[in-house]
Structures are given as structure tokens and as C-alpha cells.
Chains A and B, each alone.
Chain A
Amino acid sequence: MTTPPPKNGPENGRDATPLAKLLFGWTESKAAQLAAFLVLGALSALLILLDASVDRHGKFEMESLFGFYGFYGFAAFSFVVLMGWPLGKLLTRPEDYYGEADEDGEDEASETGEGARDE
């Protein structure tokens, strides 16, 4: 096969199944990622703008603010993710903190052989 060399992993794209390539192969391309970002941005703008054209009959006052749901969703999501920084620092401890470290992980996976590669 004459596929170009992988970009972000030694085995990238080499052993993806045909179905996987067909369904999700595009997610590897930088251009597609940028396109997805732009499409999602455009879709967001469109959905907000559509707000003006729809007769809204909400049960709360704030619901009728222009683009309320969109902005609320954006703000809520960003808040949750950004809170991950301080909370992660505050609450994360080493895995054997309770003296019961999980025995799974990379080593076990390669021992069981179940994680071994297809072929």
C-alpha cells in the first residue's frame, strides 16, 4: 500500500480495519479536524440565529432571552471543564493512596494476551 507515513503515532493508520477507516479515518486528518471545528462553529451561530425566527413559549423568563440555551450550554460546559484544573490539583492523589492500587494497566494487559493485536 502506498499510504503516506503516519503523523502522530508509529502505527497510525497502518492496521485500522477497512470499516474503521471508512467510518472514522477522516478524524486523523488535520484539515478535517479544522473543518469540523469550523462546521460546528457555523452550526452554533446558525442555531443561535434561528432563535429569532421561532415563536418561543418557555415557562421561565430567562428562557425567552435571545439564544439563552446556546449560551447557557456553552457557559456550563466551559465552566465544568475549566473547574477540572483546580479540582484535579485539589482532589487527585496517587493511585495507591488507599493502599489498593488497581492491578490493571499496561503490564497486566500485555500479560493477559487479550489486549494483543489483531493478526
Chain B
Amino acid sequence: MNDGVFASLLNINPGVFVMAAGLLALLARGTLQRGIVLIGGPVVALLALLARPGDAEAVTSTLFGYELVLYHVDSLNRVFGLAFLIAAGLAGIYSLHREDRIQDASAMVYAGAAIAAAFVGDFLSLFVFWELTAVASVFLIFARGTKAAYAAGMRYLAIQVLSGVMLLGGAALYGSHTGSMLLPEFNPKEAITALDLNDPGVMLIFIAFGIKAAFPLLHNWLQDSYPNATETGSVVLSAFTTKLAVYALARCFAGTDSLIYIGAIMTVFPVFFAVIENDLRKVLAYSLNNQVGFMVCAVGVGTELAINGAAAHAFAHIMYKALLFMSMGAVMLRVGTTKATELGGLYRTMPLTTVFCLIGAASISAFPLFSGFVAKSLTMSAIGYEHLTLVWAMLLFASAGVLEHSGIKIPYFAFFSHDSGKRPQEAPFNMLIAMGGAAALCIIVGVAPAWLYTLLPYREKAMEYLANDLWTVDHVLTQMQLLVLAAFAFVLLKRLGLYPAEKRGVVLDFDWTYRKLGYGFALWTGRVWTRLGPAITEIWRGLAARIFRQLTAAFSPEGELSRGALSGSMAVWTAIVLGLVLVVTAVFPT
């Protein structure tokens, strides 16, 4: 290939290759063509990213006098981009069994937009791809084809677009103050300077990121939409949106104290919802929320160790969360539901899916030798070094909670527990390959974390941690104590009959305020208006007619004021008033 052409290809944001694959997916027919497009897109993008020289210049442009950075790579966005690309490839394999061109295109454009967003360096470009992730991904929810999915999709779209609008508004304010739309630069040799939250524009940007990261009370779109997506849709969705937000927070708000507490609350409260939720994909959505809490907390701590923790956790989490969603997606496809009350005993005919789910469960629970352990440890240690006792205790509590909902509940109720009598087929071959790939990554990262650690934003710090802290006896022992005794609590409570049985139903969360209270208020207002409207119109009409009649009576040629000799009385009165004004202004000249 011509060197010039090759070099210019390396200057294309890798997200563009994936988005292009998404457009090609609209034309692809048959498994072979779809396979080439859906796997080829992310692979080409990955190669383009890996082949780009480390010292390559950023690709820039200008718009309205603002400098745009369309493509730049540093050690912070590189690790997120790699995770996104791997997830996009695995999701491509996972979706091959179902020929649905709209869904293929939607997934790839969505993934590509998230990847592109990670590699741009200014707020305007970020906004464009930020909104594109929202618009492209909603089709993954609509594709389920149910009424509930449509409603959830519309709510999802409204909230995601709102996030984008706030980002644009915030960026515009920020840009007008500072004269620059550029995102803060990341240099592993210098301390990160977070944006100042006292600037209202920056505050808007912060909330926009917070919506996408599903901060507490802004979180319901996640549990609402992901379980309503198709079996492949929830896998794709789980990988990108929230982690893009974590990346954006790390770039702009590292070391912002409020994030520590926002993150800590995020780790704790979903645990309680997850324990009573019946739909296992919704349990995973709560679990996602809880995991992102660890990352947000780490970003808030903002030290080198903590930022490494956030990035490593994001990387590992994208793999094991996708794996868990894949296993539940396989159940969804084969059984038609992921409600715990309808499942149980599926290991009999889905043993491989069971094994993969268990690997995902062990990873998210952070058992040593699985990926969660090597990732979460960084964050926990970083919090330890800052002596944030309460936060540390909350995260430790949440770690036991993760074992409950994702480590035990998901595999137990789907594949073991009481026999539901259902004997579904094993997952399709393509799903098994994708799950196998994700599971392999969970184990490789867990057993040999060095290669992930070399990719982290502060590489030297990571290698130092790997050499001195990760595999110490007390670290492994304490983690095993936490997990094994928590698991023992499970079997004990189960034997004593104290573990609450799953039951069908919806669990009320904060979205009650807009789905019930807000919606109810809107309905009530509508009803009141329908009845009151005509009455009010009648009153206005009557009033207007009366005023008109009286004005006519006064001012019309036949009216009161025109009657009698002094027909010009209004002119006289006007002259008197004007005269008074003249006198007053003459006496009081100022």
C-alpha cells in the first residue's frame, strides 16, 4: 500500500471505521457478509489504533474560530478505546445468530460513536458523538418490539438527549469564558487539573456527564432501558454509555471531591434494589450502576493510583459485564424471559452458558485470579492511602453486595435453584464463541494482569503496584475472607430459609416520581383541562363581550363621551394632563 495513504488512514479516528461498518451492515446479507462487516470493522479500527505511532500529532480542525481535536491518543483514552473496540468485536460475534440489519447498524454506529468520542479532544466533537451514541442506541431497545420496550426507549432517548443538550449548553458557556473548547489534556507526568465547578458552564457539563454515568437519582434510565433491550442490545449497551461517561469524568473532573461521595453512594444503594429485583437483566443493570460507582469514586480520589483503578476497573468491567449480559441474553433468547421466578435448573441443557456465567460472576465478585480482583484492588488501595474510612467501608460493603447480586443471585436463580422444568437448547454457537472470548479475557487479565497494567494511564505507578501490593499474602487472604464468609452467609441463610424468595412484580425506584407521580400529574392536568377548558373559554368570551360592549358604549360615535356639546372632551383632558407634565418637569428639571 502507498505509504501516504496508509499514514492518512492512521489519522482517522478509529470510531469512524466502526461507524462505517455500521453503515455497511445495512447492506450486508447472510452470516458471512455480516460476520465480515461486524467483526471486520472493530478489527480494522483496532489495528489502526495499534499501528499509530505513539508520538503522532493530534488531528485538528477549526470551526467558528474554535480549535477542534478530531483524533488524539494519550494513555488515558487509549485504554478506554481498546476496551470499547474489543467489546464492539465481541458484540458483533454475539449478534450473528439474528439477522436484523437495523440492529446491526445501530449497534455498530453506537459503538463507533462511543469510540470516536473517547478519541476526540474538544467539547464540540464530544457533543456530536455523545448525542450520536444516544440516537443510534435507542434502536437496540426499540428492536425488542414490545410496547414496554417502546416506552422505555422513548424515556431513554429523552434523558440521553437532555444530557447532550446540557453538554452543548455547558460547553458553549465554558467556551465563551475561556475562548477554548478543548478538553483538558492528560499528561502522565503532570498533575491533572480538573475543571472548576464554580463556572456554571462547567456545572452543566458535570451534570451532563452525571446523567450518562447514572449518578444517584439520575440513574433510572439505565435500569429502565437495558432490561428492555433485545438480547444482543443489552450486551452492546452495557459496554459503552456509562464507561464513556467515566472516561469523560476522568478527563475533566479527576480529583473532584464530590465524586468520591457520589461514587460511594452509587456503589451501595443499587445493592438493595438488586436483592429484591426479579428480572435478572435488571439485576445486572443495578449491578452495573454499582460497579460504575467504584469508578466514579476512584475518579473523585484522583490520585495516580486511583485513576489507574478507574481505568482498569472500566476495562475489566466492560468484559465481565458484557459476559454476564451475554449469558442472560442467551437465556432470554432460549427461554423468552430472564425473570428469576420463571427460571432455574437451566444448567442441565445450557452447561457452557452456565460455565461462562460463573466466570463472569467470579470476575465481578473480584475473586483472586479473576479480572475484578486486579482492577478493584487499585481503587480500594487508593482510597486507603487517602484514609477515607467511611468511603472505604461503604465500598467494602458494596463488594459483599456485588457477590450477592451478581456473584450468586444471577447464576444461582438462572441455572441452579429449583428446577423450572424448562429444557432450552444451549446458546447458539456464535454466542458461545463471544462468551468464550469475554471469559478468556476475564481470566487472562486476572491471572496475568501485567499486560492490562502496562496499558493504564500511569504505567509506572501501575507496575509498581503490581510488584509490591497486588499479590501480597494479606491482600489475597483478606479478599478471600470477605468473599468466602459472604458466600457462607448465603448458604447459611438459604438453609435457614431466611433468603427471600423471588416473586414477580416491579420494584419501585426513583423513576416512580416521573413514571407515576409526574405522569399521573400530567394525566390529571389533562383531564382537568378537558373539563375546565370549555368553561374557562366561556368565561373569557363572556368577559370580552362585556368589556367590548362597555367600551362601545363609552367611545363609539353614539357613545357616552361623544354625546352633548363637549364632543372633544378627551382632547381637552389630554391637553390638561400634558400641561401638568410640563409644569412638573419645569419645577423638577432632573
A-B contact count (CB 8 A): 244
**Given the complex of chains A and B, what is the CA–CA distance between A86 and B399 in angstroms?**
22
- A9-B345, A50-B477 known; A117-B351 Cβ under 8 A: no
The answer to whether the Cβ of A31 comes within 8 Å of any Cβ in the partner chain is no
**Given the complex of chains A and B, what is the CA–CA distance between A63 and B393 in angstroms?**
10
**Given the complex of chains A and B, what is the CA–CA distance between A13 and B349 in angstroms?**
10
**Given the complex of chains A and B, what is the CA–CA distance between A97 and B487 in angstroms?**
34
**Given the complex of chains A and B, what is the CA–CA distance between A3 and B521 in angstroms?**
61
Nearest CB of chain B from residue A48's CB, rounded to whole Å: 7
| Shortest Cβ distance from A85 into B: residue | B500
Across the interface, B506 reaches (CB within 8 A) one of A12, A56, A92, namely: A92
A47: chain B residues within 8 A (beta carbon) = 477, 480-481, 484-485
Is the Cβ of B396 less than 8 Å from the Cβ of A76? yes
The answer to whether the Cβ of A1 comes within 8 Å of any Cβ in the partner chain is no
**Given the complex of chains A and B, what is the CA–CA distance between A115 and B3 in angstroms?**
53
**Given the complex of chains A and B, what is the CA–CA distance between A53 and B400 in angstroms?**
24
Is the Cβ of A20 less than 8 Å from the Cβ of B347? yes
A5: chain B residues within 8 A (beta carbon) = none
Within B516-539, the residues touching A (CB, 8 Å) are 516
A17: chain B residues within 8 A (beta carbon) = 348-349, 351, 426
Within A1-51, the residues touching B (CB, 8 Å) are 8-13, 15-17, 19-20, 23-24, 27, 36-37, 40-41, 43-44, 47-48, 50-51
Across the interface, B342 reaches (CB within 8 A) one of A13, A84, A94, A106, namely: A106
Across the interface, A15 reaches (CB within 8 A) one of B279, B337, B423, B485, namely: B423
Is the Cβ of A84 less than 8 Å from the Cβ of B275? yes
Within B461-520, the residues touching A (CB, 8 Å) are 473-474, 477-493, 495, 498-500, 503-509, 515-516
**Given the complex of chains A and B, what is the CA–CA distance between A43 and B504 in angstroms?**
35
Is the Cβ of B276 less than 8 Å from the Cβ of A72? no
Is the Cβ of A9 less than 8 Å from the Cβ of B421? yes
Q: Mark B422-440, 1 if CB is under 8 A from A, else 0.
A: 1111100000000000000
Interface residues on A, range: 35 or more
Nearest CB of chain B from residue A91's CB, rounded to whole Å: 5
Is the Cβ of B342 less than 8 Å from the Cβ of A69? no
The answer to whether the Cβ of B387 comes within 8 Å of any Cβ in the partner chain is yes
Nearest CB of chain B from residue A76's CB, rounded to whole Å: 4
A9: chain B residues within 8 A (beta carbon) = 345, 418-419, 421
Across the interface, A101 reaches (CB within 8 A) one of B148, B350, B479, namely: B148
Nearest CB of chain B from residue A77's CB, rounded to whole Å: 4
**Given the complex of chains A and B, what is the CA–CA distance between A22 and B503 in angstroms?**
31
B333: chain A residues within 8 A (beta carbon) = 114
Across the interface, A87 reaches (CB within 8 A) one of B272, B339, B485, B492, namely: B272
A82: chain B residues within 8 A (beta carbon) = 493, 498
A-B contact pairs, 22 of them (CB 8 A): A17-B426, A20-B347, A20-B350, A24-B415, A27-B347, A47-B480, A51-B477, A59-B381, A59-B387, A63-B478, A69-B482, A71-B485, A73-B483, A73-B486, A76-B401, A80-B272, A81-B493, A93-B506, A98-B515, A105-B336, A105-B339, A116-B424
